[in-house]
Amino acid sequence: MGIEQYDHQEVVRQTVAKLSSHLISPTDKAGLSHSQDISTAKGLLKEMVKRGVIYTADEISYTAEHEFHWHKKDATELGKLAEKISNGSRVQGADTEAGQSKALQIFQELDDLPTPK
């Protein structure tokens, strides 16, 4: 089975959720404020794309901003980064180890979701 077995919107949501849980501090909105945050985001997005997920800038930025309360600027930056990686553009400075780990966690969580009837 491939990526098509998963609901695309749920994959997008889980991706942003995983980044948000890693990045967000209890007293602030989430965002890409540190170089390690950006590196982790790149690593996760690259791993998800490698597994067949294709993102658009709009869906990622909307989800980040409206569901996970990211600053608009950071949500837009994340969306552009996701689309760039989805289009096959190279990005440097990705934390591939963190990306692989977080991608594995996302798919385990997706597998645990109840199957729609």
The pLDDT value given to residue 108: 87
Rounded mean pLDDT for each run of 10 residues along the chain, 117 residues in total: 79 91 61 81 92 94 94 94 96 89 87 67
Candidates 70, 8, 5; CA nearest to 37 is 70
- Looking up tokens 């990045």 gives 23
Confidence (pLDDT) at 55: 95
Give DSSP secondary structure letters for 24-63: --TTS-----SHHHHHHHHHHHHHHHHTT----HHHHHHI
* Domains of the chain, each with CATH number or no CATH: 3-24+31-112 (1.20.1290)
